[in-house]
Amino acid sequence: MAMDPYADKCYSPANLNTIMMLLYLNNPSSVNRLKIFKEFTLKQDTLESVNLYKNLYKSDNNQQVNCMKLANKMYLPQSVKLSPYFIEQCQKFKINYKELIDQFDENENVNQKINQWIASKTNQQISIINSIKPKLVIVNAMCFNSEFVEPFYINEMTKDYFYPVNGNKRKVVMLNQIVEAPFVSCRGSIQIRLKYQLKQSYLIIVIPHEKEPFTFKINKILQNLEKADKYKITLAIPKFYASCSLNFKKIFKSLEVSEILTMDIAEYKVQNYLKTCIHHSVCISIAESEKKKNVQDKNYENREKLKKINLTINRSFYAIVMKNKNIICLSYIHSPKTY
């Protein structure tokens, strides 16, 4: 049996998520969305290994593509490979992923092509998706940097989200893809989606070991929500962080923290909220910055261990997302491109 040439190429996470959406729309009950999602958006799209980058970032003429600096800057790699399981699911549900992938050239039209292709195949389903009122909103603010705080504006024709950066327009594709719920990729101000949906909210903040930058970012997020919104704030921290010397209560005193829980207990509480759906909820997962500080900094001595713990945090919360269909997830899951 001849090898599938598509399986050896690299594709952007946005493309893979587009196809995942189509798998779901064809047969939502039979596709192992959690398995697919972990394969593409968590396992390979997070900065786990430099060796992984070196294997992925090769052009068609086998020249090494210098994406390392870009990947480190953006926190996520630009492309991943197809897996046998992914191809098998596409074939099973008659998704012509080759037709879709063939359109994805690394040029200025890639996102437009994605939108056109999605619209031609899934117009009716997307309108249904957009009408869903979520019971839980999860925001991954891993790249919430101060330079990206300016509000989005929306292109109503394509439903793309933009934000200004240093006079240039950067574009984040609106991912209408579904795993168990619609996903929207976003950075910066999040009030467009949240302020109309949340009244009384249970806010869980997953924090890393860094202090001031994330205090600022969390405050910025809260400022963008309507002042009338009320939050019970929980800090969810890994057990490893609980043994660190950081005084979390002092750092987040301005947020009037209600409680500090370790990650496993916080996850259990979130699952209970999913079952009862008493509150609208927001979970803000803030991953550690890849901008390295002084190596001698004692808080960075176990950086590799912290990184692995961070992956566990994100996987845990995304696993929770999979269990409820009335969830909308605002998640920065792939690197934007500059146009």
Give Cα separations from 331 to 94, 164, 259, 296 (angstroms): 28, 19, 25, 33
pTM passes above 0.85: no
Query: Tokens standing for 74?
Result: 């953006």
Taking only the tens place, the pLDDT of each residue in 306-331 is 343 333 333 223 222 222 333 333 32
At residue 68 the predicted structure's pLDDT band, cuts being 50, 70 and 90, is very low
| Residue for token pair 């043994």 | 243
Tell which wins on pLDDT, 36 or 85.
85
Cα 219 from Cα 136, distance rounded (Å): 21
Residues whose CB is less than 8 angstroms from the CB of residue 97 and which lie 6 or more positions away in sequence, other chains included: 6, 19, 82, 86, 87, 90
Q: Which range is most confident: 2-11, 49-58, 294-303?
A: 2-11
What does the pLDDT average to over 193-200? 31
Query: Tokens standing for 103?
Result: 């359109």
CA atoms within 13 A on the CB side of 140: 25
pLDDT value of residue 76 = 32
pLDDT of 255 above 50? no
Backbone φ, ψ for residue 29 (5° rounding): -85, -15
Residue 290 CB-density burial (10 A; 0-12 exposed, 13-18 middle, 19+ buried): middle
Q: Select from 132, 236, 194, 239 the least CA-distant residue to 330.
A: 194
pLDDT value of residue 125 = 37
Query: Tokens standing for 144?
Result: 């919430």
Mean pLDDT for the chain overall:
40
| Residue for token pair 């779901």 | 24
Residue 142 CB-density burial (10 A; 0-12 exposed, 13-18 middle, 19+ buried): buried
pLDDT value of residue 322 = 27
Percent of the chain with pLDDT over 90: 0
Cα 144 from Cα 232, distance rounded (Å): 22
Cα 49 from Cα 307, distance rounded (Å): 11
Q: Select from 147, 16, 159 the least CA-distant residue to 78.
A: 16
Q: Select from 39, 42, 40, 78 the least CA-distant residue to 58.
A: 78
253 residue type, one letter: K
Cα 171 from Cα 162, distance rounded (Å): 5
Percent of the chain with pLDDT over 70: 0
Pairing of strands 153-155, 160-165: antiparallel
Taking only the tens place, the pLDDT of each residue in 86-145 is 566 666 656 666 655 554 444 434 445 444 544 454 443 334 333 333 333 333 332 222
- Cβ atoms < 10 Å from Cβ of 102: 10
Residues whose CB is less than 8 angstroms from the CB of residue 255 and which lie 6 or more positions away in sequence, other chains included: 205, 218, 219, 222, 233
Taking only the tens place, the pLDDT of each residue in 215-254 is 444 454 445 444 434 444 444 444 444 444 344 444 444 4
Q: Which of 20-34, 151-165, 170-184, 192-206 has the lowest mean pLDDT?
A: 170-184
pLDDT of 59 above 60? no
What does the pLDDT average to over 30-51? 40
Alpha helices in 199-261 (DSSP H): 212-223, 239-242, 248-251
- Domains plus CATH for the chain? 9-145+241-284 (3.30.497.10), 154-238+286-291+305-333 (2.30.39.10)
